[in-house]
Structure 1
Amino acid sequence: MDRLFAFSTLLSVSVSAIHVPLYQHSVSPDRSSFDVAKSALHAVSKHTFASKTSTPDTLDGGFWYGSFAVGSGTNLSLLIDTGSSDTAVNPTKYKPSQKSVNRHQSGTLRYGTTEPNGCGNADIAYNVYTDSASLAGLTAPAQTFGWVQKTTPPDNDTITQFPHDGIVGFSDESSSEIGATPFFSNLCNNGVVAACRFGLAFKTDGTGTQVLGSVDTTLFSGSLTTARISSPWTTSGDVAVGNTVIARQQTILLDSGTSNVIGPTAQVKKLLQKAGIKYQTIDLPGCATVVMGSYRCNQPPTNIGFAFPSGNARYLNIEGAAFQEAQDSNGDGNCTATVTGIDFGTNFWIVGQSWMQGKYVDFNFDSNSVGFATLNQK
């Protein structure tokens, strides 16, 4: 992948937290979606302020989008992805401004698990440019990104551009592939946000908010359960069904660009069996062995979750309303579980936005930590 490049231009005004509305739409059972669980191909890779800045996010096909401006283009619907670092804009969507700079660099962004079930691949060809980029009025005046180039898919299972208008990675530059500073880190380095942290508040009704530059305690109940990260946004935790721990000290990547929850096949089998969910092991295009569970749609489990011992032992479960990956098309009233088994690595889990729904998740670069709390749904 390309990487984003950091520039030293400083803004003279620093703001507190920004609230960005996010948006989502449900995914249909037969629809191919772009699920960016990059870890299969990538290296596994402080303050509370009175005023808040936020922006809405929306949900579509299992992924959350914010409204960005890049160059002269405005209202670009870009996927919010904590599992990657680079920004990329689709063909015809980027409108260069007078500040646009062609970096004369090209390459291919490679993604795995591009389908809701965790399979599939994407090869995204790009040229590298630098231009201004902004979200909710917060501007990185010199942001390096990939301008996606239209290419012919090598086969029917390979995706060659992003859904909607592109993607913005909210990880750090260590997992960037175009050699540049990620968008949010660029805001931090330029003093645009009051603190180098952001929050994702995904409701179960398809609406959500991204908080930039602070933590908004009005959005959740109680206090944050915090955990140290080994790298953005990877931490350690336990997997449980109810009070029964299925696996301890697992490596967990928090990836908003993944729609489901993916774990090692042996552990997912054990988890689904303990939860009373029928499962089958199948081979799918773009995957080797996949474990998938099926349950009655009107009886979703509510006791499958994760605990983070570096914070405390409180389990944070997948909400029943978010447990459905897809509804079976044969009309038998069964649904596919959002927990999928794929062996990406020993004791390695990719925890996507279906687990994040109903929670406030704080991503804090300043303290090298993540925090979790139950979201106020009203």
Structure 2
Amino acid sequence: MKPRHVVEKLSEANNVWFGSFDVGNSKNLTLLIDTGSSDVIVSPGLYKGGPHSVDTSSTFANTYGTTESDGSEPEQSGAVYGRFEHHLYYSGVGTLCRHCSQWKDLKKDALAELDTGTATVIGPLDDVIAIFKAASIRYVIQISEDSGTSVTGYFPCDRPPTLELSIPSQSNATAAAKQNSKLVSHHSSTFNIAPDQWIAADNRSNNCTAILSGTDAFPIPDLWVVGQPFFHGTYVDHNLKDGTLGFAPARCTN
């Protein structure tokens, strides 16, 4: 049995955080720590009311689509959204550089759901295919009657691309400056998905599955679900009073 109230990584990709918790008289349950979900959901039969529990006789409908232990499936739940832009940069010989002539500005004003409960990054099908083509990433398209069309990318493990996300988008930052907004930054800042975060699976023979995938199954057509790889090395400030999020490169101190 796990000790109470601990938080640990617990997934094949070692990217998703789980914690143990108590609710009512139910003890030592396991919780997926997921900022992309608006509710705490307990599986049927696990919840036992405590002495202070109240039956409100209310009915509600709730759906939750995560089925894999690594949190990689799209979720049908509440989320935090924002606008961002993403860029791809690489050099002709495959080495990464900061100011390359092959700079690609691939998407503007994309709608993003920031979700620590998702182990990957999932975007609209056509946008992701465009990124794969620009980065010369081999990809496979799959069609399912149940989950629609999806695309998965594969790249040489020793030559991962780098994806940049600019938050907020330039148009949002410009609008905020004109309106003298105190809630939205007047400048767009760039955050990288680090090269060492690109590997979702090592298939051997220098062939890796990318953490980026595409789908046409999201209810919002232009939605991006930005998960764990983005948060690696990023400090996130949750301002509940103003309902805003702040981002900065994480700085570790001894």
- C-alpha displacement at 1:354, in angstroms? 2.2
Tell me if 1:23 matches 2:8. yes
1:157-194 per-position Cα deviation (integer Å, ceiling 9, x unaligned)? xxxxxxxxxxxx8xxxxx4xxxxxxxxxxxxxxxxxxx
Residue 234 to residue 21, structure 1, CA distance change in 2 (3 Å): farther
Deviation of 1:276 after TM superposition, in Å, equals: 2.8
CA contact (8 A) 2:73 2:118 kept: no
Distance 1:26 1:118 in 2: 10
Q: Letter of the aligned partner of 1:296 in structure 2?
A: P
- Structure number with the higher strand fraction is 1
Aligned partners of 1:258 and 1:352 also within 8 Å = yes
Aligned residues: 217
The one of 241, 246, 250 aligned to 1:371: 246
Q: 1:119, CA displacement in angstroms?
A: 5.2
The sequence identity of aligned pairs, in percent, is 32
Counterpart of 2:63 in 1: which secondary structure? strand
CA distance in 1, matches of 2:33, 2:207: 30
Q: CA deviation at 1:89?
A: 2.1
1:120 touches 1:287 (CA, 8 Å); kept in 2?
A: no
Please give the alpha-carbon distance, in whole angstroms, between the structure 2 residues aligned to 1:77 and 1:314. Answer: 36
* Contact 2:16/2:71 (<8 A) preserved: no
- Using the alignment, how far apart are the partners of 2:53 and 2:25 within structure 1? 9
CA distance in 2, matches of 1:288, 1:117: 19
> 1:89-127 CA distances to partner (integer Å, 9 max, x unpaired)?
2356434321122334455532236446965789xxxxx
Which amino acid in structure 1 is aligned with residue 23 of structure 2?
Answer: V
Rounded Cα–Cα distance in structure 2 between residues aligned with 1:275 and 1:234: 27
Q: Are 1:80 and 2:33 counterparts?
A: yes
1:297-343 residue CA offsets vs partner (Å, 9 max, x unmatched): 23332x20210133333321112232222233xx4331111111112
- 1:165 is matched with none
User: Could you say what secondary structure the match of 2:56 adopts?
Assistant: strand
Quote the Cα distance in structure 2 between the aligned partners of 1:74 and 1:246.
48
Where do 1:157-196 residues align within 5 Å? 175=78
The answer as to 2:87 corresponding to 1:240 is: yes
Partner-residue secondary structure (3-state), 2:246: strand
Local SS of the residue matching 2:235: strand
Which residue of 236, 239, 246 maps to 1:361? 236
Q: Does 1:250 align with 2:90?
A: no
Determine which structure has greater relative contact order: mean sequence separation of CA pairs < 8 Å that are 6+ residues apart, divided by chain length.
1
SS at match of 1:354: helix
Matched, 1:297 2:144: no
Structure-2 residue corresponding to 1:323: 198
Is residue 64 of structure 2 the alignment partner of residue 111 of structure 1? yes
- Counterparts of 1:363 and 1:83, CA distance in 2: 13
Q: Secondary structure at the match of 1:83?
A: coil
Hey, what does 1:55 align to over in structure 2?
none
| Cα gap change, 1:117 to 1:265, in 2 (>3 Å) | farther
Q: Deviations over 1:200-245 (max 9, x none)?
A: xxxxxxxxxxxxxxxxxxxxxxxxxxxxxxxx51111101113422
- Tell me which amino acid in the other structure corresponds to 1:237: F
Tell me the CA shift for residue 277 of structure 1. Answer: 1.6
**SS at 1:102 equivalent:** coil
- Specify the alignment match of 2:209 in structure 1: 336
Provide the secondary structure at the position in 1 that maps to 2:33: strand
Contact 2:71-2:117 at 8 Å conserved across structures: no
Change (3 A) 1:120 1:258: closer
- Deviation, 1:27, is 1.3
The residue type equivalent to 1:103 in the other structure is T
Q: What is the RMSD of the two structures over their aligned residues, measured on CA atoms? A: 2.9
TM-score normalised by structure 2 residue count: 0.72
> Secondary structure at the residue paired with 1:299?
coil
- Equivalent pair of 1:119/1:284 in contact (CA under 8 Å): no
TM-score scaled by length of structure 1: 0.51
| Contact persistence 1:306–1:315 (CA under 8 A) | yes
Relative distance call for 1:66 and 1:25 in structure 2 (3 A) is closer
Structure 1 residue 67 corresponds to structure 2 residue 2: no
Residue 47 of structure 2 corresponds to residue 94 of structure 1: yes
Unaligned runs of 5+ in 2: 90-102, 174-184
Secondary structure, aligned partner of 2:119:
coil
Which residues in structure 2 correspond to 1:271-290 (within 5 Å)? 271-284=131-144, 286-290=146-150
Letter in 2 for 1:80: I
Residues 1:351 and 1:253: Cα distance change in structure 2 (over 3 Å)? same
User: Quick check: 1:262–1:349 contact (8 Å CA) kept in 2?
Assistant: yes
